[in-house]
Amino acid sequence: MENKKEMKNWLDDFKLNHPLVIAGPCSAETEDQVLKIAHELKNSDVSIFRAGIWKPRTRPGMFEGVGAIGLKWLQKVKEETGLLIATEVANSNHVKLALDHDVDILWIGARSTVSPFIIQEIADALEGTDKIVLVKNPVNPDLALWLGGIERLYSANIKKLGVIHRGFSTYEKTNYRNNPEWQLPIELQNRFPDLPLICDPSHIAGRRDILQDISQTALDLNFDGLMIETHTNPDKAWSDAAQQITPKVLIKMMEDLKMRKITNEEFDYKNSLNTFRTQIDVIDHGLLDNLGKRMKVAIEIGNLKKKKNVAVLQTKRWNEILGKMILDGEKKGLSEEFILRMFKAIHQESINHQKRVING
């Protein structure tokens, strides 16, 4: 791809002293809901109103969006508040309807970015327009796939482009709904310094309490903007209830966020720390998982012992386990003292479980 200087120009229209802020509900639910949220956001640093109309739900049977009727509500938002409007498109029909309803910014969701066919279809449908298009990262941490999406749009002459980092899904449970792998968007930014970079802390977090932290990290890493899901009654939202915040909370959060630049060294430190912490979270979760499984097995043994009327504590077997674990632990750099203390605690918990079974 050539130099993309022109790509950042559209951003200049929004950027004053603040990062670009896109806010609004995960899903448009009713006309009232959409307008109420928009009015609460209109006199803030938010310049773009978002709402999903067609929702790509992972499993069928969940709320899949209100469909095209929601576009009329978005148009009303623009008329009544002056906010620009944004929605997700996932096929050429969505694009056509969004264009018919004067949607200003179209974003491509994480489940669409994984598919070159879908991106190409959207790019073809947009050719010849001057819409702003934001491409979310694919669900999997594949930089080439993300870049490929941008390239397909760029080749269709869509020059007002940006990317949204919404985190990557992992099989293992971590602290995040979608793990932020900051090195990917940063790599993208190094390659294309003029490609606006937006962070979506809502889909990274999956919950409210760490939105501010993630947003601050994004700003520290020189992101150009934030997309944050906002709802006047978050707990009752029809989708992504746990991660939405009220407009009031969002406005307070924006006041508290600091614009500061960090050095490369600080970035490396923060990034490595974050990577290691995620690894620790995964390992800790695995430890608990295994301990839980171990207790279930202990209960089964308890059932057997009850039938056979055998005592819970079997000293010989226990000493054998301990001896083996001390030797094994040594190979892994774990001290005898630690192994003894840890296995005593685990053993005690097993005994407690078995006693409960045997004593009914």
Q: Which residues bind ligand PEP (CB under 6 A)?
A: 26, 52, 56, 109-111, 136, 166, 203
Matching residue, tokens 């056979």: 308
- Cβ at position 349, least distance to Mn ion in Å: 39
| Binding status of residue 26 toward Mn ion by CB under 5 A | yes
- Cβ at position 307, least distance to ligand PEP in Å: 51
Distances (CA, A) of 232 to 55, 95, 236, 309, 318: 19, 28, 9, 61, 58
Q: Which is nearer to ligand PEP, 167 or 302 (CB)?
A: 167
Counted residue by residue, the chain has a size of 360
User: Looking only at residues 199 through 218 of this chain, which bind Mn ion when binding is defined by CB under 5 A?
Assistant: none
Instruction: Give the torsion sign (CA, 216, 217, 220, 223).
Output: negative
Helix (H) or strand (E) holding 21: strand 20-24
| Binding status of residue 240 toward Mn ion by CB under 5 A | yes
What backbone phi and psi angles, to 5 degrees, belong to 169?
-80, 150
- Cβ at position 331, least distance to Mn ion in Å: 47
181 binds, among ligand PEP, Mn ion, none (CB under 5 to 8 A by kind): none
Which residues neighbour 138 within 8 Å (Cβ) at sequence distance 6 or greater?
Answer: 110, 113, 114, 145, 146, 149
Q: What distance in Å separates the CA atoms of residue 76 and residue 72, rounded to the nearest whole number?
A: 6
Q: In this chain, which residue has its C-beta nearest to ligand PEP? A: 109
Which stretch in 38-46, 107-115, 135-143, 235-243 sits in contact with Mn ion by CB under 5 A? 235-243
Interstrand relation of 132-136 and 161-165 (parallel, antiparallel or unpaired) = parallel
At CA 185, angle to CA 207 and CA 197, rounded to 5?
A: 85
**Site size for Mn ion (CB under 5 A):** 2
101 binds, among Mn ion, ligand PEP, none (CB under 5 to 8 A by kind): none
- Cβ at position 136, least distance to ligand PEP in Å: 5
Q: Which is nearer to Mn ion, 45 or 240 (CB)?
A: 240
- Cβ at position 203, least distance to ligand PEP in Å: 4
Q: What distance in Å separates the CA atoms of residue 274 and residue 161, rounded to the nearest whole number?
A: 28
166 binds, among Mn ion, ligand PEP, none (CB under 5 to 8 A by kind): ligand PEP
